[in-house]
Amino acid sequence: MGDSVVIVGAGQAASQLAASLRGESYQGTITIVGDEPYIPYQRPPLSKAFLAGELARERLFIKPEEFYTEAKCTLRLSTVATAIDRARKALKLSDGSELTYSKLVLATGARVRKLPLPGADLPGCFYLRGIADVERLQDFFKPDKRLTIIGAGYIGLEVAAVALKRGVKVSVIEALPHVLARAASPEISVFYEDEHRRSGVDLRCYVRTESITQSGGALAVNTSSGIVPADFVLIGIGIVPNVELATAAGLDEDNGIVVDQFAQTSDPSIYAIGDCTNHPCAYASTGRVRLESVQNAIDQAKHAALSICGKAKAYNEVPWFWSDQYDLKLQIAGLGAPDDQIVLRGQPSSRSFAVFRLRDGVIAAVEAVNAAPEYMMGRRLIAARARVAPERLADKAIPMKEIVQ
């Protein structure tokens, strides 16, 4: 029997892997198994332009359907992979059939973390991860409706910005002392708190949600600082990696499917890529990381393709992320750690500034708000493990191109 790659999951990583395998002249068959009814689509616009109604659904698709036909990549959509038989190198599917593989690639992504509180499953409570979630949510986006968002991460804050623009009244409840607490430095968090409050968001940090109840035709979010009434609720408290298929097959798992720098799991015939993986990362203070990003999905897919095609190259790309809120573009490169030295470049009040994070004198991360030079140069400096004196980084009079002496 000929060579075959079977990909579980039909997101950004799966689409890139199919493209990269063909780009590397892979001759075997390629099959993508996805549980959603859609061909691979971009998730980042879901909480931004797509939710805002500024981007039609067709424009979410990463590649047109013809791409998969031309690439001789079979799509098995609305299909769940139920088990891996490693001994027989076969993947069992929800329709009772099975696919045999030479290489299996788990691109299973992540699912929303459910809020384990009473009332979180009431009608009118939403999560946001896929196209269907946004389409359900959009019906409620009407002027003067009251939206309460639980969780002030990227999803919560991006949805808040879109909702305000549509005339929705927005409250955001965050259990931690600051917004974006897991994603960015305190300087960035405080800046975004001010921006959201100034725009009209009722933002409540360090407030615990206790339950959601129904009262009349509306909902009430009961918190440690009182009741927040709402017509609808969005819960955005993070995502959890889809590892169950891997663990049931006995693959190593540790906050994600454990892979090496070639995206290979503890079974050499099985790879894993994207949000579901825990992988080595020289830019992480702990040496390993699980990333939730387009960059990681794309780059890890490219490296898995190289490895499958016998041209293995270690994955070592600088992580990068972005978030659009109001007229603010947040661009982040590298990974922060709690004890980083923080260097501020520019004034937050100017709405264009950057935070550099230094670790042992080396630039480890940059968080740039409407500051593309700092972000673009920062990315290069992080890759180069550059050392730049903090006082130079802080000096806006020195252009980024001349920042390295």
The contact set with other proteins (CB under 8 A) reads 42, 44-45, 48, 59, 62-64, 66-67, 70, 294-295, 298, 320, 322, 324, 329, 331, 370, 372-373, 376-377, 380, 400-401
Residue 140 or residue 322: which is nearer to other proteins going by CB?
Answer: 322
Q: Among 325, 340, 239, 334, which Cα is nearest to 296's?
A: 334
Work out how close the CB of 315 gets to other proteins at its nearest, in angstroms, rounded to a whole number.
14
Residue 66 or residue 139: which is nearer to other proteins going by CB?
Answer: 66
Q: Among 321, 250, 243, which Cα is nearest to 278's?
A: 243
Write the single-letter amino acid at 205. C
Residue 218 or residue 386: which is nearer to other proteins going by CB?
Answer: 386
Rounded CA separation 324/372 (Å): 13
Q: Which residues contact 116 (CB under 8 A, 6 or more apart)?
A: none
Helices (H), 65-169: 65-70, 131-138, 154-165
Residue 316: phi, psi to the nearest 5? -150, 50
Work out how close the CB of 59 gets to other proteins at its nearest, in angstroms, rounded to a whole number.
7
Q: Is 147 left (phi over 0), alpha (psi -120 to 50) or beta?
A: beta
Work out how close the CB of 55 gets to other proteins at its nearest, in angstroms, rounded to a whole number.
9
Contact 343, 393 (CB under 8 A): yes
Work out how close the CB of 42 gets to other proteins at its nearest, in angstroms, rounded to a whole number.
5
Residue 38 or residue 322: which is nearer to other proteins going by CB?
Answer: 322
How does DSSP classify residue 265? -
Q: For residue 170, give both structure tokens.
A: 């927005």
Residue 114 or residue 313: which is nearer to other proteins going by CB?
Answer: 313
Work out how close the CB of 396 gets to other proteins at its nearest, in angstroms, rounded to a whole number.
14
Work out how close the CB of 56 gets to other proteins at its nearest, in angstroms, rounded to a whole number.
9
Work out how close the CB of 376 gets to other proteins at its nearest, in angstroms, rounded to a whole number.
3
Cβ atoms within 10 Å, residue 214 = 12
Work out how close the CB of 53 gets to other proteins at its nearest, in angstroms, rounded to a whole number.
14
Residue 253 or residue 324: which is nearer to other proteins going by CB?
Answer: 324
Residue 62 or residue 201: which is nearer to other proteins going by CB?
Answer: 62
Work out how close the CB of 88 gets to other proteins at its nearest, in angstroms, rounded to a whole number.
36
Q: Mind giving me the DSSP string for 321-365?
A: EEEEETTEEEEEEE---TTPEEEEES-GGGT-EEEEEEETTEEEE
Q: Which residues contact 87 (CB under 8 A, 6 or more apart)?
A: none
Residue 66 or residue 360: which is nearer to other proteins going by CB?
Answer: 66
Write the single-letter amino acid at 238. G
Residue 222 or residue 370: which is nearer to other proteins going by CB?
Answer: 370
Beta-bridge partner residues of 153: none
